[in-house]
């Protein structure tokens, strides 16, 4: 009888620990995806400036594209079911239309990779970069809340 009681207490403690770990994983995923998006935003600033007439800097463009490639690879895994609530701007569509969501990141990665190979000068930059940014805008339209 005492063994059963100890087993029950141990099992309850283990279950509680697993529950806390799962709760932390959702918060950690939100934190990590926000950090990746912030990194994308920082990498994008000089690129947008170039599209608006700032001097072309191939290194900054390559850095941004590599940042997008990395984010596109990591992001689909950062939306576990337990990260739907909390400090997130993700819409429910992320979890109800997962195939489209994942496909958009795959396309962002592929388009970033192609642009990285194609962009060598201002002309190729202006021809290729808008398509990469279209990926970002399309995903934000469908899967992210609007900023107030």
Say what the pLDDT of residue 13 is: 41
Say what the pLDDT of residue 42 is: 97
Say what the pLDDT of residue 16 is: 39
Higher pLDDT, 2 or 50: 50
Say what the pLDDT of residue 44 is: 97
Non-local CB neighbours of 92 within 8 Å, separated by 6+ positions: 84
Say what the pLDDT of residue 105 is: 95
Tens of pLDDT, residues 113-139:
999 999 999 999 999 999 999 999 889
Give the mean pLDDT of 77-91: 92
Higher pLDDT, 5 or 108: 108
Alpha carbon distance 106, 84 (integer Å): 21
Say what the pLDDT of residue 121 is: 97
Domain residue limits, the chain: 2-143
Tens of pLDDT, residues 85-116:
888 999 999 999 999 999 999 999 999 999 99
How many Cβ atoms sit within 10 Å of the Cβ of residue 33?
A: 20
Provide DSSP, 57-111. -HHHHHHHHHHHHHHHHHGGGG--GGGSSSS--B-THHHHSHHHHHHHHHHHHHH
Tens of pLDDT, residues 8-65:
444 444 443 443 333 348 889 999 999 999 999 999 999 999 999 999 999 999 999 9
Decide which of 3.40.50.970, 1.20.120.10, 2.40.50.100, 3.40.50.2300 is the CATH code for 2-143. Answer: 1.20.120.10
């Amino acid at each position: 009888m005492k063994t059963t009681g100890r087993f029950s207490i141990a099992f309850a403690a283990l279950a509680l620990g697993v529950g806390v770990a799962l709760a932390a994983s959702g918060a950690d995923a939100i934190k990590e995806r926000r950090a990746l998006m912030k990194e994308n935003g920082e990498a994008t600033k000089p690129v947008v400036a170039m599209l608006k007439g700032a001097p072309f800097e191939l290194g900054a463009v390559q850095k941004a594209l590599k940042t997008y490639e990395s984010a596109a690879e990591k992001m689909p895994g950062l939306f576990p079911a337990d990260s739907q609530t909390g400090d997130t701007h993700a819409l429910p569509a992320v979890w109800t239309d997962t195939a489209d969501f994942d496909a958009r990141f795959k396309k962002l990665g592929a388009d970033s990779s192609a642009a990285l190979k194609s962009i060598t000068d201002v002309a190729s930059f202006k021809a290729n970069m808008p398509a990469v940014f279209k990926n970002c805008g399309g995903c934000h339209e469908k899967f992210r809340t609007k900023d107030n």
